Structure 1
Amino acid sequence: MHFESLGLSPALLRALADQGYNEPTPIQAAAIPVVLEGHDLLASAQTGTGKTAGFSLPMLERLFPNGKRPTSGRPRKPRALVLTPTRELAAQVHDSVRDYSKFLTVYSTTIFGGVGMGNQIQNLRRGVDIVIATPGRLIDHMQQRHIDLSGIEILVLDEADRMLDMGFLPALKRVISAMPQQRQTLLFSATFAPAIKALASQFMHNPKEVEVARANTVVATVSHRVHPVDAERKRDLLLHILAEDSRRQTLVFARTKHGSDKLCKFLNQSGMRSAAIHGNKSQNQRTRALGDFKKGKVDVLVATDIAARGLDIEQLPMVINHDLPMVAEDYVHRIGRTGRAGASGLAVSLVSHEESGLLRDIKKLLKDEIDIAPMEGFEPSQPLRMDAGAPKPRQGGQRQRPNGNKSSHQRRPHTQERKSGGSTQAQAQAQAKRRRRGGSRTRRSPNA
């Protein structure tokens, strides 16, 4: 199947061709015709399947039939609204909308927190067709009457499951209540969980359902590897893996904001170019960190789950879980950033005895065997437990020792050498520094 067969205008097809996109992904092939027919859409698709194009392309076609504006000049009210859970996802959706509409006359803008409202107000006053926003900042503009949603024709809820997880349901209800009931609503989620079904029944009209790649499945090209290790030796094992692996760009997940900062600092001190991204970082800091990672100025991006949600990173060969997520489904969201568009990917998890229960939940969700083997030189003092009573860490990070003292790696001076998989920590740091001098490049993925 080719995009030409989906009923898109020549202007959109030309934009797709310019980017090298010829064949739609499964979610695009299933969703685009439904949206073009005017139906509400309830779609389940995991990260990396091309869902952004799955709603952006038909949205543009519906707003601008055959590539033509219904009226001349800028619109008095926005005609389409895309809601996303995070600033990064909003910015990336906006980039996609601009790419696909490059041969159309379309006015669009983003609205999210972490930056001043001045430019956002100016753009809204000038008039825009499409607004891509996060719920909180959008409500700020609504309260100050900077935006009028009474002209919305198409509403898109992108990653609706994450918006519900983040407590945005009251905000969603408030935003939707300001729109016309006669509109087209497109809801994209990783799952058809009961909460998503309830949201759809409340705000959608006889939606068509499309399900591609269930949330408890992962891309077939991703390999899974687990290394059991004592909690206090995790960061040394991480450094060893990064120094030994020739692949450049690596995304590392930490469970907490504080933990991601500490891990990033350790990696930088060890000669590994790293940056951290989490909710306590300003929008400018997060944008700069992501930009440096994409440009190859840093080799490792350390992130928390919420901060990394929706990150669009092309040709990412490896994802490492320094800490397992507290919710098994988040494992799928994490590793969905590697193995995209048919490329091979590797998901590595460093698992302590205290995280045995979390690993058991992940294995149960995936219904798949995961390769579990200790790394030589990092064998754990306690084996993992995969039975029903397997322990789980408390929400908030690794446990302290019963006496409240810091773990041994925190007490030792940073320069002390330890064995790490046949080499000392100092040797691993030297390898990291050599890798740092080597530079890196990223390539564009064909995934829309």
Structure 2
Amino acid sequence: MSFDSLGLPPALVQALQTRKLDTPLPVQEAALPVLMAGKSAMLVSRTGSGKTLAYLLPILAGINAESMHVQAVVLAPTHELAMQIHRVATDLSRDAGLGVRVQSLIGGAAVSRQIEGLKKKPHLVIGSAGRMTHLMELGKLKLKETLWLVLDEADRLLIEEGLEHIRKITGQLGPETRFVFVSATEGPATTRIARGLAPNLDFVRTQDGISPAIRHCYLVCEERDKTDWLRKVLRGLSPERALVFVHRGASAERMSERLEHHQLAVADLHGAHDKFERQAALDDFRKGKAQTLIASDIAARGLDIFGVELVVNVDVPSQSRDYLHRAGRTGRAGAEGLVLSLMTEAESRLAKRYAQDLDIALEQVQLVRGALVPATGDSAQTLRPAPRPFGPGRGGKKRPDPAGPETRKESAATTPPTSARQPQSHDKAAPPVARKRGPALPGAKSGKAGQKVWSGPKRNKPA
């Protein structure tokens, strides 16, 4: 199937082809017919599967450029994700000659400049719910003619502390507004709230879980040695781009300083930086000026950065869902990737949880001469998920739908894996610089052995 067969305007199809995007990815193939038919929908698909274009293309195709009203609103949980969506929409509209005016409305930017921008009558506004409600209260943003409301990373937006802003926005919408909820994960609370906002909701579910092209490893070490191990991993594997996760901004700054001391090109991204500092860090990472970006979870949601070969969890997430979103920064659109978690002996118990909850195998490794190799010793093991009691094909009954079978409308797609598909990325990366590299990132390993008894990890000590 091609994009032109899905009913998109020829100019928009041509703009996609100039980006070498000829074939829709599974979530796009499943979502476009639903959204272009004017239906509200929840799109659930793994990270890096192409969800942004799945909703942007129908919106851009349906906007009336002659109108002077806001016709579509996209909400995002972080400024970085909002600006990424803004860039994709702006570039597509310009290259296709659609004449769609796009404006970002995020916190941290001057309200006066945003008010001036609203005087130009944008058709599509993208930003944070808090800033939009503020502009609505000032009487500067009117949404009565809005036809689309998109909640990107809906599970982050539909939480208790953010619902007040969401309800203020939905209260200003007309009866013809269609809702699109987008997420890599689907929980009963999110589904319940979404159904309350849009009762006639179609579900588009494709490619759940984590891309099978990603290899998952963990290395056990002392907490005080984690930065040293990180330095050795970056030196040994020499990834084109590596994204390192920590819990706190202060940790990101300290780690960045220590790595820069060892002549590693590093940038840090966290909430303590202002909007301009955060954007500068992302730009340096995208353009290749910094090969490593150390970030708090602010970067874990939705960001699409081309060429991230390695994700390192220095501070490991306590929840499997957070691990999923961090891991999704690599292996985008079917590309290969590696996720390495540096764990203390106590933290290593979380590896078993990740394996079980996310249906992945985690291999315990050690660093030998700049390469990650399977750990040796009686305690070394590869953790694999145990058979689940629920779900199709697992020998158990199907898990009941929390919303009830009578209200459920579902549009699902069974499509080939993304590894055979064309990567989709809208970031323009600098050409790779020729340099001496260490051993290539090791490929995924598989085995026939079943799940082993959890008997404790092998501890590594830095040289």
TM over 0.5: yes
CA distance in 1, matches of 2:338, 2:162: 33
Are 2:2 and 1:10 aligned?
Answer: no
CA distance in 2, matches of 1:439, 1:296: 16
> 3-state DSSP class of the match of 1:126?
coil
Name the aligned partner's letter for residue 121 of structure 1: I
Q: 1:315 aligns with which of 307, 320, 328?
A: 307
Contact 1:225 1:371 in 2 (8 A): yes
Q: 1:169 aligns with which of 144, 153, 163?
A: 163
Partner of residue 419, structure 1: none
Partner of residue 158, structure 1: 152
Partner of residue 97, structure 1: 89
What pairs with 1:118-197 in structure 2 (closer than 5 Å)?
118-165=112-159, 167-197=161-191
CA distance in 2, matches of 1:345, 1:307: 17
Partner of residue 399, structure 1: none
C-alpha RMSD of matched pairs (Å): 2.5
Q: 1:280 aligns with which of 258, 266, 272?
A: 272
**TM-score of the superposed pair, with normalisation by structure 1:** 0.80
Choose between structure 1 and 2: higher helix proportion. 1
Structure 1's consecutive aligned runs of 4 or more residues displaced over 6 angstroms after TM superposition are 377-380, 383-387
Are 2:317 and 1:303 aligned?
Answer: no
Summarize the Cα distance change of 1:384–1:174 in structure 2 as closer, same or farther, 3 Å threshold.
farther
Name the aligned partner's letter for residue 129 of structure 1: H
Deviation by residue 1:391-410 (Cα, 9 ceiling, x = unmatched): xxxxxxxxxxxxxxxxxxxx
Deviation by residue 1:294-346 (Cα, 9 ceiling, x = unmatched): 11111110011124322220121111111111211111111111112232111
CA distance in 2, matches of 1:319, 1:165: 27
Are 2:314 and 1:327 aligned?
Answer: no
Contact 2:50 2:333 in 1 (8 A): no
CA distance in 1, matches of 2:368, 2:105: 49
Contact 2:246 2:313 in 1 (8 A): yes
Partner of residue 413, structure 1: none
> 3-state DSSP class of the match of 1:106?
coil
Deviates more, 1:234-243 or 1:155-164: 155-164
Partner of residue 361, structure 2: 369
**TM-score of the superposed pair, with normalisation by structure 2:** 0.78
> 3-state DSSP class of the match of 1:310?
coil
Name the aligned partner's letter for residue 169 of structure 2: V
Name the aligned partner's letter for residue 95 of structure 1: R
Question: How far apart are residue 99 of structure 1 and its match?
Answer: 2.3
CA distance in 2, matches of 1:99, 1:436: 26
Name the aligned partner's letter for residue 168 of structure 1: G
Summarize the Cα distance change of 1:159–1:439 in structure 2 as closer, same or farther, 3 Å threshold.
farther
Deviation by residue 1:132-159 (Cα, 9 ceiling, x = unmatched): 0111111221121111111111111111
Question: How far apart are residue 130 of structure 1 and its match?
Answer: 0.5
Contact 1:279 1:307 in 2 (8 A): no
- For this pair of structures, how many residues does the alignment match? 382
CA distance in 2, matches of 1:49, 1:343: 11
Partner of residue 35, structure 2: 35
Contact 1:250 1:301 in 2 (8 A): yes
Q: 2:347 aligns with which of 332, 337, 355?
A: 355
Question: How far apart are residue 175 of structure 1 and its match?
Answer: 1.2
Question: How far apart are residue 205 of structure 1 and its match?
Answer: 3.6
Structure 1, unmatched stretches of 5+, are 388-434, 441-448
CA distance in 2, matches of 1:138, 1:292: 29
Contact 1:228 1:353 in 2 (8 A): yes
CA distance in 2, matches of 1:267, 1:436: 20
Deviation by residue 1:249-308 (Cα, 9 ceiling, x = unmatched): 110011222211211111112211111111111000000000001111111100111243
Contact 1:356 1:384 in 2 (8 A): no
Deviates more, 1:23-32 or 1:304-313: 304-313
Structure 2, unmatched stretches of 5+, are 384-431, 438-463
Partner of residue 390, structure 2: none
CA distance in 2, matches of 1:437, 1:80: 44
Contact 2:233 2:367 in 1 (8 A): no
CA distance in 1, matches of 2:229, 2:337: 20
Are 2:242 and 1:250 aligned?
Answer: yes
Are 2:336 and 1:344 aligned?
Answer: yes
CA distance in 1, matches of 2:16, 2:36: 17
CA distance in 1, matches of 2:16, 2:245: 33
Question: How far apart are residue 385 of structure 1 and its match?
Answer: 11
Deviates more, 1:123-132 or 1:186-195: 186-195
